[in-house]
Amino acid sequence: AKSKLTKAERQAELEIVAAKVAKCKKCPELASTRTQTVFGVGNPRAKIMFIGEAPGADEDKQGEPFVGRAGKLLDKIIEACQMKRSDIYIANILRCRPPGNRNPSNEEADNCRGFLDAQIEIVDPDYIVCWGSVAAKNLLHSEMPIGKMRGQFYEYGRARVVCTYHPSYLLRNPSAKKNVWEDMIYLFEDMGIDLKA
C-alpha cells in the first residue's frame, strides 16, 4: 500500500506512469488514431476515485477525462455530493479514444489495465465508483448488467467499490438520475456522511 506517501510523492509517481502512457503503442489502432492519451486527473491522495470507460472526442482533444457533455453532468453530480472535482481522482478503463467511441475491446482493456492498477495503487483510494457497465465489468470482471451491480459494495484491493450508471446513459435516460443519487447516498453513508442532511 502507498498509504504513507505524501501528496507530492504520489503526484511524482503518477507523472512517471503518465509519461509511459503517453508513449504507449500496445493497441496499434488506438495509438494511430488518438490525438493524445488521456491519463487521469485530480487529487493524487483522493479518498474517492472515479473510473469511466474511455476518452471521447472532447477528452481526446483536451487530454483530460470527463470534460465533454457527460463530464459536465458528472461535475453536477460531484457538486450535489458537496465535493469539488479536485477532491476526486478521475481515470478511465482506456487512456486512448476508441475510434467513433466504440466500446473498448477486451484486449484493449487488458493492455491498459496495468496503468489503471498503477493509478489505483498510487492514489490508494478508500472508495472507487465505476461509472457504467464497461468500468464495472472490466474492473470487477463481472458480466452482470449495471442495474444488477448497483446497491452493494465490491472489493478491489483495499478499496470499496460501487457501480452506477454512466453519465452518458443519464443524458439519454434522465429518469435514472434518481438511481445514481441513491447510489451516491449509499456511498457517502458508508463514509458517515448524510447527503440528505
Binding residues for ligand URA (CB under 6 A): 52-56, 59, 65-66, 68, 70-71, 92
Q: Supply the minimum distance, in Å, between the C-beta of residue 195 and ligand URA.
A: 23
Give the nearer residue to ligand URA in terms of CB position, either 7 or 72: 72
> 3-class secondary structure for the chain?
CCCCCCHHHHHHHHHHHHHHHHHCCCCHHHHHHCCCCCCCEECCCCCEEEEECCCCHHHHHHCCCCCCHHHHHHHHHHHHCCCCHHHCEEEECCCCCCHHHCCCCHHHHHHHHHHHHHHHHHHCCCEEEEECHHHHHHHHCCCCCHHHHCCCCEEECCEEEEEECCHHHHHHCHHHHHHHHHHHHHHHHHCCCCCCC
Q: For the CB of residue 192, give the shortest distance to ligand URA in the complex, in Å.
A: 29
Nearer Cβ to ligand URA (44/167): 167
Shortest distance in whole angstroms from residue 197 CB to ligand URA:
30
Pair 65, 21: CB distance under 8 Å:
no
Give the closest residue to 58 by CA, choosing from 72, 78, 44.
72
Position with the least CB separation from ligand URA:
52
Q: Which is nearer to ligand URA, 2 or 142 (CB)?
A: 142
Shortest Å, Cβ 87 to ligand URA:
17
Compute the least distance from the CB of residue 3 to ligand URA, in Å: 26
Question: Nearest approach, Cβ of 79 to ligand URA (angstroms)?
Answer: 18
Q: Which is nearer to ligand URA, 13 or 59 (CB)?
A: 59
When the beta carbons of 42 and 52 are compared against ligand URA, the nearer one is 52
By beta-carbon proximity to ligand URA, the closer residue of 44 and 65 is 65
